A and B are shown apart, each in its own frame.
Chain A
Amino acid sequence: MTRVVEVPPSFDDRSFEQFAAGFGAWPPEERILVDARGTQWASPYGLVGLLTAGQALAEAGRERPLLTVPQSEDVKRYWARTGFFSHAAGLFEIHGKVPRAVATGPSDVLLDVTPVRASEDVHEVVGRIGENAARIMSGELGLEAKSSVGFSMALSESCTNIVEHAGTGGWVAVQAYTFRRRLGRRVVVIAVSDAGIGFRRSLESAHARRFGDRWGDATALEAALIQNVSRFRDPGRGQGFAGIKRYLSRWQGKISIRSGTARLAVVPPWDDDLPLADQLPFFPGAQVQITIPAQHSEPA
C-alpha cells in the first residue's frame, strides 16, 4: 500500500499543516509518495520540511519514500537552484526530470538548503551567509548595516539548537522574497528544521514535573521560547532564543516554532498569525521560522 501526501500548491508555514496531516499516524505504515506535481511555490520552510519528512521516514526505518517533482519548469529550476534536489536524492526515490542546479549570480537564495549536523556546519553556514546578508539587509530591507551581524547571530543560534537538542541532523535555508499577502514588503526568512526528538522530549526530564498535567508539546515550546529554559542545568543555557527575540523585537521580526503537535509564535503587529496553535497533526522534530521584514513597503 502507498499513501499519497500532497504538497500544497503554495507551500509555506501555514499550508504546512495540510502536508503534515497527510502522513496520518506517525510513523506511517504504508510507503509514502510525496506528490509535488501541482506545487507552484515553496518557501524555504516548505523545502526544509520536505527533507525533514524524508529524513524522519529513513530514521524510522520506513521504506524509501517516493517524490514526484513539480510539473512547472520554473518551480523545478528554482528548487534545483536552492540545492533541494541534490539532498532529496539521498532521501527519496525521485520521479520526474530534475534540472541541473545552475547558479546565475546574485539571487534571492541567500543560503542554499544546507545540512546541519555539527558545530562545524554552523560555522560554515554563518561564514557563507556573511556578505549576502549584508547586501540584502541594508540594500533591500533598508535596515542599518550592522543588523546583518544580529541576523547571523539569529541564524547561528537557531542552527545550534539542532546540534545541541535534536539528537539528529537537520536543514537550514535562507531566502528573500516579497511577502505580498500579509505584509506587502520584502522579507528575509530563515527556515530551520530537524527530524529529532522535538522540544517536549528534549525538555521532559528537567521540566515536565513542574508543569504536571499541562505538560505537552505546547507547554514545552512555551518553556523554551517564552521562559528561556533549557534541558541543561547550566544556568547560562537557554539564552539563544532570548537573543533571537531581542534582535527580532528591534526590527519587528517574527519567530515561530513548531514541534510535535504544537506551534508557538512571537507575532509582530503586521501579522495575524495565532500565537499558539495546539493539537495540530504530528510532525517529527522541530521547525523554526524567523522572518525579518523590510522597513518600508514596496511601491504598488
Chain B
Amino acid sequence: MNLIEEISNFLQSYCDCIDEQRYEEWCNFFIDSARYRVTTAENYSANYPIGLIDCMGKAMMQDRILGLLKANVFEPHTYRHILSFPIITNQLDSKIFVKTSFLISRTKQGAGASLFVSGFYSDELVKIENELKIANRIAVLDSSLIDELIVLPI
C-alpha cells in the first residue's frame, strides 16, 4: 500500500468505528496527547478559539464517550460518514498533514436519514510503530447552525 492508500484506509476506519457504533474504540485512533476539536467555519475563519467540542488529550475524549454511554440523554441515532479523497497538504518529519471533506447523515430511530453536517477535517497524522494515529484533528463544519445536539463524535 502506498501512503495515500494507507491514509485513506485509516480515515475510513475512523468513520466505520463511529458509524458502526463502536464508540469506546474511537479514542484509539488518537495518540494520548492528541487534540480533537469540532468547530464551525465561522469560528475557524474568525480565529475564535471556542467551537463545539475541544478535547485536549485522549482522557477528555474518553470522558466524552463516558458521557455518551452513561450520562447523556438523547434519542438513539446513528451517523453515516461519507469522505472525499484525502489530500496531503504537507509533510514535516514524521508528521503528515491531511485535509478531507465529509458529509454526515444522521438517522434517528424510526425516522428517515437526513444530512446532519458537512465540512472538512484538517488532520495532523503521525506514524507510531508503523501505525497511523491522529495527533491533531479539527472538524470544521460548514454551517454554524446545529440541529438539536451533537453527542456522537464527528
Report whether chain A binds chain B: no
Chain A residues with CB under 8 Å of chain B are none
B residues lining the A interface (CB < 8 Å): none
